[in-house]
Amino acid sequence: MEELSWHIMDIARNSLEAGATYLKIVVDEHTADNQLRFMVQDNGPGMPDYVQKRLLDPFFTTKTGKKVGLGLPLLQAAVERCGGSLEIWSRPGTGTRVTAVFPYFCWDRPPLGDIPRTLTGLLAGQESLHLYYRQTYDGREFIFDTAEVRAYLQGLPLVTPGVLVWLNQYLGEGINSLYGGGRNEIARRAG
């Protein structure tokens, strides 16, 4: 996967497929500690032990008709290339939490990528999803919570395309300001 935000999206999609209605996504960038950490947590059904044991097996899947397993083996490979770590915590009835840690300065580390598109993409068509996002960069913090957005929308669906397009820009500006306004990594491929 080209971007860490694709991995985030993939993990979050698995949560939604499993029936989660709440997603908490956190990205912490600490350049002084040479660390980038992200976490995706859900309130889904959680996974029984036998599934957890085989999560990193690329050919294991609980879904019929699907040709490859979860994207987690891909994330595991990305983490290993950089000497980072991956932790998966899950409890049936409580939810699942995936945490990945990468060295911030590592040639092999995929860029964080386009977080706004990842978040609005996850929200597309998911009117009942409560999404909480927090990102920090060297102590500065940006928080996005769909509960707050919905309060402003007063019943207009958040998934209205015009709303999601606006939110995409809002997220872009908010995240960009974490980096002092000038950001290189978010640069989008042309097209």
Partner 1 sequence: MKSLAELDKLREEIQREMALREKKEGIKVVVSMGTCGIAAGARDVIAVLLEEISRRNLQDVVLTQTGCAGLCHCEPLVQVEGPGGEKVTYGHVDEQKAREIVAAHLVNGQVIKEWTVKEEGERV
Residue 104 binds which of partner 1, ligand FES, none (CB < 5-8 A, kind-dependent):
none
Least distance (Å) between residue 15 CB and partner 1? 11
Q: Choose between 66 and 189: whose C-beta lies nearer to ligand FES.
A: 66
Least distance (Å) between residue 63 CB and ligand FES? 8
Burial label, 4 (beta-carbon count in 10 A; 0-12, 13-18, 19+): buried
Closest residue to ligand FES using C-beta atoms: 67
Contact (Cβ atoms closer than 8 angstroms) between residue 10 and residue 120: no
What whole-number distance in Å separates Cα of residue 47 and Cα of residue 107? Answer: 34
Least distance (Å) between residue 177 CB and ligand FES? 35
77: Cβ contacts below 8 Å, ≥ 6 apart: none
What whole-number distance in Å separates Cα of residue 10 and Cα of residue 18? Answer: 12
Summarize the chain as % helix, strand, coil (round to 5): 35, 25, 40
Q: Choose between 74 and 88: whose C-beta lies nearer to ligand FES.
A: 74
Structure tokens at 127: 């009117």
Structure tokens at 130: 């409560």
Residue 174 binds which of ligand FES, partner 1, none (CB < 5-8 A, kind-dependent):
partner 1
Binding site for partner 1 (CB under 8 A): 1-2, 5-6, 9-10, 13, 17, 63, 65-68, 70-71, 74, 114, 117-118, 120-121, 124-126, 148-149, 152-154, 156, 159-166, 168-170, 173-174, 177, 191
Q: Choose between 32 and 189: whose C-beta lies nearer to partner 1.
A: 189
